[in-house]
């Protein structure tokens, strides 16, 4: 059920009475939010099957879980406007992670330990299938502290009411523990060690060193800070929204967060406040020392592995014991200015939930849209194997191009025209911006033109290029937004990364989920993901087209092409 007017009025009175700071996601002072809210949201760029509330601001995913067969999703939400502020934990439930029923907010500022804000956190399922939240509150001194909330009625599968412990805060900065009171937030899902003690990490920093501060507890109420963090890295800045979980080295099955032992590696994901990028490392969890050690070659910081090389932040995973998988949620923010998204009446969407597992190489994760999203597919179009000559464009007709799911694979048989890889080309995003879709190469660019107008005045290009390296061929994947809109205002950053595939032995696969103003692309069977926000002026609704293209001099073959129109999900 939707949020009641009575609740909103009382909550607004509470905020005014306590003089709550209205902060942006980056914690910058923001004033007069309510006066900026438009009378009704602009629907032009709203998505049809990505999760988003009917209006207003949304950011971090919080506490995703499955309980009594129902999926629960909570998220940071402003009930009063389309800019950051007045944040509550909004709540929706689903039977399939695709169609959602909204409920009243689960958590909102009401106690001393969170009176100035209810920020991000996680859900943990205690023995006996008892869910609990650990979340960051902002106290009257504007200190960030960690709190707990539990369901009021455990027999209610919808978990619509939550209550906070009178012992809150459970963890707080003090002069003794030397924690930065303004950089201490976003507790993870807790895990249970073989010694019977629970563990949780909280993001922080000391000067420019990012910290995953570790706490332990026997009863989930009384927490003791460990002498050393689980992990830290110099020069990385504030670590927001940490996530720590095990992955199997032998199969794609997910693992409960407390699993340890042979055949298991661990993943530590951090959200970098400085760059708004999520990066992760793969490594070993040393139980005896309670330390996480990244594998050799697994790099901390922005130059390391990322879940997504486009817009994707504050991500959170949970273990889905019904499907034996680990599911990843991530926030995709706007590419508009604050004035523009406030004017449109809403801001932010969630990426399609993704299944995640360790690749066969053991060096990176693989991500793929949850299989349930395929129930929205309709009007399938298949194309036979097609030679795509250099300089050619092939329209993929018969699908609703503004709301589609397309899978395409390319086969390359001749490599003699591949451009030579310059050893100085170490920054793939910069390389993509310099060699966009309009720059003719030897092998590439080839891929998809999505949300394209009829005469290609507008398009977003998702494509590959192949370069000849010293000992192997190097594959670059890009999402070029430079011509995505005739509107000059949106950010049109071009994104890109290298893909760990051998084009001689392997197909070059690409899947793109297209949903009006978002393009989520998965390259190399999910080894690389790039999410883009675009705002075309011509390629909207029926004016949108979908093309395969090759702007290289060497021809390539489309070995497989399937595309579907996507039905609208039931969300709001």
Q: Please report whether residue 571 resides in a domain.
A: no
Shared-domain flag, residues 507 and 546:
yes
Shared-domain flag, residues 115 and 141:
yes
Shared-domain flag, residues 455 and 520:
yes
The conformation of residue 99, written as its DSSP 8-state character, comes to S
Q: Please report whether residue 382 resides in a domain.
A: yes
Q: Please report whether residue 391 resides in a domain.
A: yes
**Listed residue (242, 186, 17) closest to 116, CA to CA:** 17
Local confidence band at 572 (pLDDT 50, 70, 90 cut-offs): confident
Its domain, for residue 320, covers 5-38+52-369
Local confidence band at 8 (pLDDT 50, 70, 90 cut-offs): very low
Distance (Å, rounded) from C-alpha 238 to C-alpha 269?
13
Shared-domain flag, residues 365 and 384:
no
**Listed residue (505, 504, 512) closest to 408, CA to CA:** 512
The pLDDT score that the predictor gives to residue 2 is 36
Q: Rounded mean pLDDT of the chain?
A: 92
Instruction: Quote the pTM value.
Output: 0.92
The pLDDT score that the predictor gives to residue 251 is 96
Q: Output 43 or 144, whichever has higher pLDDT.
A: 144
The conformation of residue 18, written as its DSSP 8-state character, comes to T
Domain boundary among 369, 404, 426: 369
Q: Quick check: 34 pLDDT over 70?
A: no
Quick check: bond before 445 cis, omega within 30? yes
Shared-domain flag, residues 232 and 279:
yes
Question: How many domains does the chain fold into?
Answer: 2
Instruction: Please list the active-site residues.
Output: 60
Q: Please report whether residue 44 resides in a domain.
A: no
Quick check: bond before 385 cis, omega within 30? no
Shared-domain flag, residues 151 and 253:
yes
**Listed residue (480, 498, 474, 497) closest to 412, CA to CA:** 474
Domain boundary among 344, 369, 394: 369
The pLDDT score that the predictor gives to residue 20 is 32
How do residues 463-513 score in pLDDT, each as one tens digit?
Answer: 999 999 999 999 999 999 999 999 999 999 999 999 999 999 999 999 999
Distance (Å, rounded) from C-alpha 522 to C-alpha 525?
7
How do residues 539-551 score in pLDDT, each as one tens digit?
Answer: 999 999 999 999 9
Beta-sheet pairing, 403-411 with 313-320:
unpaired
Shared-domain flag, residues 331 and 403:
no
Q: Residue 359 in contact with residue 349, Cβ under 8 Å? A: no
Shared-domain flag, residues 386 and 458:
yes
Distance (Å, rounded) from C-alpha 531 to C-alpha 118?
28
How do residues 330-373 score in pLDDT, each as one tens digit?
Answer: 999 999 999 999 999 999 999 999 999 999 999 999 999 999 99
Measure Cα distances from 154 to 71, 158, 304 in Å: 15, 9, 42
The pLDDT score that the predictor gives to residue 290 is 97
Domain boundary among 302, 337, 369: 369
The pLDDT score that the predictor gives to residue 175 is 78
Q: Please report whether residue 45 resides in a domain.
A: no
Shared-domain flag, residues 178 and 283:
yes
Q: What is the average per-residue pLDDT within 300-307?
A: 94
Shared-domain flag, residues 201 and 68:
yes
Q: Please report whether residue 47 resides in a domain.
A: no
Q: Please report whether residue 526 resides in a domain.
A: yes
Local confidence band at 144 (pLDDT 50, 70, 90 cut-offs): very high
Query: What's CA 412's distance to the chain center, in Å?
Result: 32
CATH of the domain at 358: 2.115.10.20
Query: Beta partners for 137?
Result: 118, 145
Q: Please report whether residue 478 resides in a domain.
A: yes
User: What contacts 233, CB < 8 A, 6 or more positions away?
Assistant: 209, 210, 300, 301
Query: What's CA 270's distance to the chain center, in Å?
Result: 12
CATH of the domain at 402: 2.60.120.560
Q: What are phi and psi of 57, to 5 degrees?
A: -85, 140
Shared-domain flag, residues 61 and 149:
yes
The pLDDT score that the predictor gives to residue 40 is 63
Shared-domain flag, residues 365 and 399:
no
How do residues 92-121 score in pLDDT, each as one tens digit?
Answer: 999 999 999 999 999 999 999 999 999 999
């Amino acid at each position: 059920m939707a949020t009641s007017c009575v609740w909103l009025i009382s909550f607004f009175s509470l905020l005014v009475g306590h003089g709550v700071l209205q902060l942006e996601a980056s914690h910058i002072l923001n004033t007069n939010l309510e006066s900026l809210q438009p009378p009704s949201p602009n629907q032009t760029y709203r998505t049809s099957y990505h999760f988003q509330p009917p209006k207003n601001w949304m950011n971090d995913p919080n506490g995703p879980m499955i309980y009594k067969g129902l999926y629960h999703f909570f998220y940071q939400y402003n009930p009063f406007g389309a800019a950051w502020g007045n944040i509550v934990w909004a709540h929706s439930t689903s039977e399939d992670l695709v169609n959602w029923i909204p409920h009243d907010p689960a958590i909102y500022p009401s106690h001393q330990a969170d009176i100035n804000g209810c920020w991000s956190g996680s859900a943990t399922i205690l023995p006996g299938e008892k869910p609990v939240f650990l979340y960051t509150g902002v106290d009257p001194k504007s200190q960030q502290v960690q709190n707990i909330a539990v369901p009021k009625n455990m027999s209610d599968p919808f978990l619509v009411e939550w209550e906070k412990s009178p012992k809150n805060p459970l963890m707080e900065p003090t002069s003794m523990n030397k924690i930065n009171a303004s950089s201490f937030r976003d507790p993870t899902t807790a895990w249970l060690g073989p010694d019977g003690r629970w563990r949780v990490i909280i993001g922080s920093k000391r000067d420019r060193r990012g910290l995953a501060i570790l706490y332990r507890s026997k009863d989930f109420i009384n927490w003791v800070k460990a002498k050393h963090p689980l992990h830290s890295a110099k020069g990385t800045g504030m670590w927001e929204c940490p996530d720590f979980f095990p992955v199997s080295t032998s199969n794609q099955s997910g693992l409960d967060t407390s699993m340890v032992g042979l055949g298991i590696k661990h993943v530590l994901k951090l959200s970098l406040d400085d760059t708004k990028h999520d990066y992760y490392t793969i490594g070993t969890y040393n139980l005896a020392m309670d330390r996480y050690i990244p594998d050799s070659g697994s790099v901390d910081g922005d130059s390391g592995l990322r879940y997504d090389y486009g817009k994707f932040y504050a991500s959170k995973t949970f273990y889905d014991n019904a499907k034996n998988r680990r599911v990843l949620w991530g926030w995709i923010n706007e590419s508009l200015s604050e004035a523009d998204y406030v004017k449109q009446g809403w801001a932010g969407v969630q990426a399609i939930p993704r299944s995640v597992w360790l690749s066969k190489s053991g060096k990176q994760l693989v991500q793929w849209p949850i299989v349930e999203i395929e129930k929205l597919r309709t009007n399938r179009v298949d194309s036979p194997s097609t030679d795509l000559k250099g300089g050619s464009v092939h329209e993929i007709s018969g699908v609703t191009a503004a709301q589609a799911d397309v899978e395409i694979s390319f086969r390359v048989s001749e490599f003699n025209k591949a451009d030579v890889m310059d050893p100085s080309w170490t920054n793939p995003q910069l390389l993509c911006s310099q060699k966009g879709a309009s720059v003719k190469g030897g092998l590439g660019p080839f891929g998809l033109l999505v949300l394209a107008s009829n005469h290609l005045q507008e398009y977003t290009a998702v494509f590959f290029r192949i370069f000849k390296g010293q000992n192997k061929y190097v594959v670059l994947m890009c999402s070029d937004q430079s011509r995505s809109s005739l509107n000059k205002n949106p950010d049109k950053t071009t994104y890109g990364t290298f893909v760990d595939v051998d084009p001689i032995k392997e197909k070059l696969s690409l899947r793109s989920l297209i949903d009006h103003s978002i393009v989520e692309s998965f390259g190399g069977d999910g080894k690389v993901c790039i999410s883009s926000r675009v705002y075309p002026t011509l390629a909207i609704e029926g004016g949108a087209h979908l093309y395969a293209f090759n702007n290289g001099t060497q021809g390539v073959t489309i070995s497989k092409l399937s595309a579907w129109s996507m039905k609208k999900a039931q969300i709001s």
